[in-house]
Amino acid sequence: MLNNAIHHQAQTAAQQSAIRLMAYADAVWPDGQMLEFVIEQVLNEAVTFSVNARRVLDATKTTNVVQQSDWDKDIGKPIESETDLRRCLNAIIHAHELQVIVSRAIRTKFAHGPNVQTRGLLANTDRYSNLHIDLFGLAWSFMTMPRQMKMQ
């Protein structure tokens, strides 16, 4: 029973983090001090999400495909993102360097200064170099997994 309670808690925590990651990815931010705070929050949330989401994947023996957002196409810079959810999670968990990718926002929200969005993560591990992870796609992939997950 304890094992199931731990997995249920991990699933709930991963879902909560996924919602926050999707919100961060969709929001427009002013460049500057506030963006530094947002980047710190995105990194913390991504690690929390990854640890809990991987625990769920391990318990359910499932995975999903990460679909790349259309944002990169909109700004004219095609970036090839990782599509394996488990590989994305492992890269975030084991990263010795993890950066938030920020780019010019498609829409303007703030009149003064550049408007930016957090688009993804760039992870470097012992196994992966410059692995691009689509932030919204990562969270969406987990949230759209079948809900009838049976814990093993």
Would you say residue 123 lies in a domain? yes
CA gap 42, 112 in Å, rounded:
23
* Strand, helix or coil for residue 108: coil
The reply to whether 151 falls in a domain is no
Helix (H, G, I), strand (E, B) or coil at 58: helix
pLDDT of residue 96: 97
- Let me know if residue 106 belongs to a domain: yes
Count of structural domains, the chain: 1
Range of the domain at 73: 2-143
Identify whether 59 is part of a domain.
yes
Cite the beta strand spans of the chain per DSSP E: 29-30, 97-104, 115-124, 131-134
Model pTM score: 0.87
pLDDT score, position 152: 47
Torsion sign, CA atoms 12, 122, 73, 114:
positive
Token pair belonging to 86: 């488990």
Phi, psi at 29, each rounded to 5°: -125, 150
Domain presence at residue 28? yes
Residue 2 has a pLDDT of: 38
Positions in the chain short of pLDDT 70: 1-3, 68-79, 147-152
Q: What are all long-range contacts of 32-39, with beta carbons under 8 Å and residues at least 24 apart?
A: 32/113, 35/102, 35/116, 38/118, 39/100, 39/102, 39/118
- 36: tokens are 């530094």
Asked if the structure places residue 55 within a domain, the reply is yes
Residue 67 confidence (pLDDT)? 77
In a domain, 152, yes or no: no
CA distance 152 to 76: 44
pLDDT at 3: 63
The confidence score (pLDDT) of residue 71 equals 54
**CA-CA distance, 72 to 141, in Å (whole number)?**
17
User: What was the pLDDT predicted at 1?
Assistant: 36
pLDDT of residue 24: 95
Question: Is the residue at 94 inside a domain?
Answer: yes
pLDDT of residue 78: 58
